[in-house]
Amino acid sequence: MTTVSVGARPFFGRRATRNPLVIGLLRHALLIGVLIVMLYPVVWMVAASFRPSAEVMNSLGLFSKNYTLDNYKHGWSAGQLNFSRYFLNSIAITALSIVGNLVSCSLTAYAFARLEFPFKRILFGVLLATMLLPYHVTLVPQYILFNELAWMNTYLPLVVPKWLGVEAFFVFLMVQFIRTLPRELDDAARIDGCGHWRTFSRIIMPLALPALGTTALFTFIASWNDFLGPLLYLNRPEQWTVSLGLNSFLDVTGESAYGSLFAMSTLALAPIVGFFLGAQKLLIEGVATTGLK
Amino acid sequence: MKNTRTGREGLTAYLFLSPWLLGIVLLTIGPMLYSAYLAFTSYDLLSAPRWIGLDNFRRMFTADPRYLSSVKVTLLYVGVSVPLLLVVSMILALLLNKGIKFLSGYRALFYLPSLMGASVAIAVLWRQIFGSTGLVNQVLALFGITHGSWVGSPGTALWTIVTLNLWAFGATMIIFLAGLRQVPAELHEAAAVDGAGPIRRFFSVTLPLMTPLIFFNLLLDTIHAFQAFTGAFVVSRGSGGPADSTLFYTLYLYQQGFAELKMGYASAMAWALVVVLGLFTGFLFLTAKRWVYYGDER
Amino acid sequence: MKRTRTAALATAALLVVAGCNGTSVGDTAGGDTPGQDGKGDITGSLQLTFWGGANRAAKTNAVADMFIKAHAGVTIDRQNADFGNYFNKLNIQASSKTLPCVMQLQGRQLNDYTKRKVLLPLDPMIESGAIKVDDIPKEVVDTGRGPDGKLYFLPYGAAYDAVGVNETLAQQAGIGLPPDGYDWKKYTDWIASAKGKLPGGVFTSGSRGGVPNYFIAYQLANGKQLFTDDGKLGFTKESLVEYWEMWEKLRKDGVTMGADAQADEPEGAEQNFIAQGRVMTDSMPGNALTPASATLAGKAGGQKLTTLPMPSGPSGSGNAIFTSGFAIPTNCDNVPTAAAFIDFFTNDLEAGKSFKSDNGAATNQKVLQAQIDDPALTALKKHELELYAEIVAKKPPTILYPPGYQATFESAYTRAYEEIAFGKKTVQQAADSFFTEANAGLGG
């Protein structure tokens, strides 16, 4: 804590005389300006999803005289089954992945951030090293491995790695978060008679909620959008995920259905946006108000 | 006191680590080592790998001009996109931290592009925006500026991918935001009572507390930039074109491994990258002692 | 540190012992596994994999369901993905010997697989009568042969490339269509004659020196060989230079589109430039006529599109056919059912009618004729099928694509022309480096 120069006295620091209303307006104007530029592609996709299929690709604009819901109707029932099944499958895989990542990564991160143990530095090096290898070259050995384990056509290859903390990114992220929390907390807990498990579950985890929220959110996005994993490991249509369903609208060797693609892509965004809105209320904002003592 | 504790603490630690250790042993180490072995072989996926020693590495540096050009493209990309991404994310995280109306709405909207992933919609859109008759050129035309295609010219295609990466800055921003949330309000109040203005408070309170996450984002964004794949893959449809101007390292690796069925060579490329990234990571950790402040240090 | 290394090595050794070390997939090829002549019980489960989107999946599924109905006790797992991902998955499956029993291939990649002995020859199954080829023209069947002359996939659909012409634009320019039996000179002159006569933002043609299939048509029309028997480039550097210079002249004279605009072109029959009405003529897959016309119809003015055979030359038509068909991998444990399915998919009249030539025209002549005679067939689709019939009636040459064709030849070819068009290399330099790169990567 000593490194944070909180107590340093400023010289004469009364510069907050500017009109807060003007500053507020300027901030909003800046944000909205950036947003318009940034969101145009997203808005375009949503608008295109409501245009008749012949007009989908034809215009950079947003408007059409003939808005229709056809793309949604056709898109929903495309493929060997339909999107209600794909959504359920994606939700199941994503939920299992999130819980798995939260449990395994937080346990691992606590050990690396707070505990002393033999080979700590080497293991931390191993943890980091697993992030450095491009995944393309482990794809084949991993496939061979999962095939040997007879995990084909199950959700295991997509979910088990999350429960075993294979994604070092999240472990490292949580380590960094936990290390911003002052050690005094642990000491206080220990004086109160808490063991490591209780320190972890009662003190550190509640304070690391933003980290958990971030992990949950990123895992949601990654699992939800994952295409390669389901492509390789799920061969039966009844196991298909949303991303596989979306891919089936495309065909460079035949006819693609861009209207349906955009319609279903728009729907596929909805759960992530919903999760994001929920998660940020609960997790990102929650802590700041309680603060930490 | 410390010594008597370490034994038991070590045991506890390994209990906490057990899922991860199991994962490393069962799922991670095997495939990693196997790919390391493949780096010294000629392996076409369809038949058994054949040991060829250092030939892959020799070819990489002496007989493959496309490899060297992919290294150049990647370094340029890393150098430009990482600093840009960090600065923009930090600025927006600060803007969106607190004290502004419709906060959660703004955040969600800014985050929206990052949620879209590498969808095909992006591939189509990027061409519509940066194509010769695209949105950008239509806007430029209003000012009497004419320009050819941005995605289609070797001179500018890379910059459209830098833009694409920047467009999805949400992940980096969210981590900064979450970090800002952990800055104890008391510290800010104390500093404010002491008369520190917002800028001074940022540099003396916020920034030091944020260093672990700046460190994290710097390291991870750099690793990701070196491994950048999706943007170029989507925009160039896997070719790395026009004229190899967006041939990222990992994209070339992918082409070699999966299109040309040279998985041995691809593995060698991957491990060469691991060495570079390992050196970079090690270097960053060495410097970290000078500028990263952890709350747990006493 | 040392200890971790030992442990790591031990793990690696374990992996090898555990058989993770990908023993050659081809090891069992040529063995006398029962059922290699396709005779046996048609029952049990079958895995089927093909490329394509939801539309094609629906049609393929309909056929698979018809097959199941006809053969009690058969179940079929179906997998599909878009073209690029399809092959990634296939190659990964090959690495662990889990290739699906019925896998779709094209002539372009066939020899990547025959070279590694991953596929069963179908000839014994033809001899035993499990698979029939009686109603398929010989030239078409031959596109499924490997360098050893054996048949490795049974072509069910034949695609061809054609010259697409936006008739409306050509009429506006007052030049009509190229004359019957036109050659490359007449074609390029015809393109040049439209210069300045088209609406703003519309080009006569793309700058198309980088399209491999166009070049193949040029070489075939001139009676040149494409590949040597050992899988290297079979044409001369001069002919490549001559071809590229033909396109470069058009581009430099401002007749065709610039290089950067060309590089912008979206992929896919629904949205590329000819479908958007941005060019008057372009090479296009024959079966792209229907989807491209649909997009074009959405444009103001309702422009009309048609397809012509490729330009001719001293050796006649430059049209080649590109077939897709099903192969059986050596790791298949249900060859009789796989053979029966392939035969059914290709030769059954009802199956063919229901599949509607979705991936190239039906190779089975009876199936094809039944579709052409169907009064419900759209005019565009009819044109597609009739042009195919016209091409195949002229006995097109069969191209034996060497291993590495798609990965090396196609990508290197496209890249080499890009380097010319962007002024990075002269035509001669690009031809030199293309020859070096292609010959290093092909065959062998």
**Over the stretch C397-437, which tens digit does the pLDDT of each residue have?**
889 999 989 888 999 999 999 999 999 999 999 999 999 99
**Dihedral (Cα; B24, B28, B31, B36), 10-degree rounding:** -80
Task: Provide the b/e sequence for C282-293 (b: ≥16 CB within 10 Å).
Answer: bbbbbbbbbbbb
Q: What is the mean pLDDT of residues C211-236?
A: 92
Segments of chain B scoring below 70 in pLDDT: 1-6, 98-100, 117-121, 297-298
Residue B41 parent element (H or E) = strand B41-42
Residue of B nearest to C272 (CA): B124
CB contact under 8 A, A180 and B295: yes
Subunit partners of chain C (3 or more CB pairs within 8 A): A, B
Beta carbons of B215 and A176 less than 8 angstroms apart: yes
In this prediction, residue A251 carries a pLDDT of: 74
Sequence-distant (≥ 6) Cβ neighbours of residue B145 within 8 angstroms? none
Q: Is residue B206 part of a domain?
A: yes
Residue type, B111: Y
The sign of the CA dihedral A134, A140, A146, A152 is positive
Beta carbons of B19 and A165 less than 8 angstroms apart: yes
Residue of A nearest to C49 (CA): A235
3-state secondary structure of B148: coil
In this prediction, residue A2 carries a pLDDT of: 33
Interval A170-186: pLDDT, tens: 999 999 888 888 888 88
Tokens linked to B116: 């879209």
Subunit partners of chain B (3 or more CB pairs within 8 A): A, C
Interval A144-154: pLDDT, tens: 999 999 999 99
Sequence-distant (≥ 6) Cβ neighbours of residue A33 within 8 angstroms? none
Phi, psi of C309 (to 5 degrees): -65, 160
Q: In terms of Cα–Cα distance, which of A268, A282, A258 is closest to A89?
A: A268
CB contact under 8 A, A252 and C267: yes
Chain A residues inside the 8 Å CB shell of B119: 225, 246, 265
Nearest to B213 among A127, A176, A284 (CB): A176
How many CB pairs (< 8 A) connect B and C?
A: 110
Q: Which of C114, C264, C265 to mutate to test the interface with B (most CBs of B within 10 A)?
A: C264
In this prediction, residue A285 carries a pLDDT of: 55
For chain C, say whether B229 makes contact (Cβ under 8 Å).
Answer: no
Q: Is residue B95 part of a domain?
A: yes
In this prediction, residue C6 carries a pLDDT of: 42
Chain B residues inside the 8 Å CB shell of C87: 258
For chain B, say whether C113 makes contact (Cβ under 8 Å).
Answer: yes
Please tell me the distance in Å from C392's CA to the nearest CA on chain B: 31
Asked if pLDDT for residue A135 goes beyond 80, the answer is yes
Please tell me the distance in Å from A204's CA to the nearest CA on chain B: 12
Nearest to C57 among A141, A248, A256 (CB): A248
Q: Structural domain tally of chain B?
A: 1
CB contact under 8 A, C294 and A236: no
Nearest to C95 among A80, A143, A257 (CB): A143
For chain B, say whether C89 makes contact (Cβ under 8 Å).
Answer: no
Chain B residues inside the 8 Å CB shell of C404: 260
CB contact under 8 A, C287 and A254: yes
| Eight-state DSSP code of residue B42 | E
Cis omega before residue B242 (within 30°)?
yes
Q: Helices (H) and strands (E) in chain B — how many of each?
A: 15, 2
Interval C291-304: pLDDT, tens: 899 888 877 678 89
Nearest to B152 among C260, C267, C415 (CB): C260
Phi, psi of C308 (to 5 degrees): -120, 160
Residue type, B192: A
Residue of B nearest to C414 (CA): B243
| Residue that is written with structure tokens 């449990």 in the block | A103
Nearest to C298 among A54, A80, A235 (CB): A54
Least confident of A60-74, A224-238, A274-288, C50-64: A274-288
What is d(CA C131, CA C37) in angstroms, rounded to the nearest whole number?
9
CB contact under 8 A, C297 and A257: no
* Domain limits, chain A: 86-249+263-288
Distances (CA, A) of A75 to A268, B121, C54, C394: 12, 15, 10, 42
In this prediction, residue A286 carries a pLDDT of: 46
* CATH value at residue B199: 1.10.3720.10
Please tell me the distance in Å from B83's CA to the nearest CA on chain A: 19
CB contact under 8 A, A213 and B125: no
Model confidence, pTM: 0.89
In this prediction, residue B9 carries a pLDDT of: 85
Q: In terms of Cα–Cα distance, which of C380, C400, C52 is closest to C226?
A: C400
Q: Which residue has the higher pLDDT, C411 or A37?
A: C411
For chain B, say whether C11 makes contact (Cβ under 8 Å).
Answer: yes
Please tell me the distance in Å from A247's CA to the nearest CA on chain B: 9
CB contact under 8 A, C18 and A255: no
Alpha-helix runs per DSSP H in A115-241: 120-132, 136-148, 156-163, 168-180, 184-191, 196-198, 205-207, 209-225, 228-233
What is d(CA C82, CA A244) in angstroms, rounded to the nearest whole number?
10
Please tell me the distance in Å from B259's CA to the nearest CA on chain C: 5
How high does pLDDT run on average in chain C? 88
Residue of C nearest to A55 (CA): C298
In this prediction, residue A58 carries a pLDDT of: 63
Burial of residue C417 (number of CB atoms within 10 Å: 0-12, 13-18, 19+): buried
Nearest to A55 among C18, C84, C298 (CB): C298
Q: Which residue has the higher pLDDT, B194 or C9?
A: B194
What is d(CA C176, CA C167) in angstroms, rounded to the nearest whole number?
7
CB contact under 8 A, A140 and C359: no
Residue type, C86: Y
Beta carbons of C46 and C60 less than 8 angstroms apart: no
Q: Is residue B214 part of a domain?
A: yes
In this prediction, residue C1 carries a pLDDT of: 38
Please tell me the distance in Å from C285's CA to the nearest CA on chain A: 9
Distances (CA, A) of A204 to A175, A197, C166: 11, 10, 68
In this prediction, residue B119 carries a pLDDT of: 65
In this prediction, residue A3 carries a pLDDT of: 36
**Dihedral (Cα; C247, C253, C256, C257), 10-degree rounding:** 110
In this prediction, residue B122 carries a pLDDT of: 76
**CATH of A86-249+263-288 among 2.40.110.10, 1.10.10.2520, 3.40.50.2300, 1.10.3720.10:** 1.10.3720.10
CB contact under 8 A, A253 and C77: no
Please tell me the distance in Å from B234's CA to the nearest CA on chain A: 13
In three-state form (DSSP H/G/I as H, E/B as E, the rest C), the secondary structure along chain C is: CHHHHHHHHHHHHHHHHCCCCCCCHHHHCCCCCCCCCCCCCCCEEEEEEEECCHHHHHHHHHHHHHHHHHCCCEEEEEEEECHHHHHHHHHHHHHCCCCCCEEEEEHHHHHHHHHCCCECCCHHHHHCCCCCCCCCCHHHHHCCECCCCCECCEEEEEEEEEEEEEHHHHHHCCCCCCCCCCEHHHHHHHHHHCCCCCCCCCEEECCCCCCHHHHHHHHHHCCCCCECCCCCECCCHHHHHHHHHHHHHHHHCCCCCCHHHHHCCCCCCCCCHHHHCCEEEEEEEHHHHHHHHHHHHHCCCCCCEEEECCCEECCEECCCEEEEEEECECCCCCHHHHHHHHHHHHHCHHHHHHHCCECEEECCHHHHHHHHHCCCCCHHHHHHHHHHHHHHHCCCCCCCCCCCHHHHHHHHHHHHHHHHHCCCCCHHHHHHHHHHHHHHHCCC
Q: Which residue has the higher pLDDT, B50 or C444?
A: B50
Determine the structural domain holding residue B245 and report its residue range.
65-289
Q: Is residue B169 part of a domain?
A: yes
Asked if pLDDT for residue C288 goes beyond 80, the answer is yes
Interval C97-154: pLDDT, tens: 999 999 999 999 999 999 999 999 999 999 999 999 999 999 999 999 999 999 999 9
| Residue that is written with structure tokens 């991953």 in the block | C118
CB contact under 8 A, B239 and C415: yes
What is d(CA B192, CA B245) in angstroms, rounded to the nearest whole number?
50
Nearest to C54 among A144, A227, A248 (CB): A248
Please tell me the distance in Å from B148's CA to the nearest CA on chain C: 7
Q: Is residue B136 part of a domain?
A: yes
Q: Is residue B217 part of a domain?
A: yes
Nearest to A79 among C54, C77, C95 (CB): C54
In this prediction, residue C7 carries a pLDDT of: 44
Task: Provide the b/e sequence for A42-71 (b: ≥16 CB within 10 Å).
Answer: bebbbbbbbbbbbbbbbeeeeebeeeeebb
Please tell me the distance in Å from B140's CA to the nearest CA on chain C: 17
Q: Which domains does chain C have, with CATH numbers?
A: 4-159+322-382 (3.40.190.10), 160-319+401-441 (3.40.190.10)
Q: Is residue B185 part of a domain?
A: yes
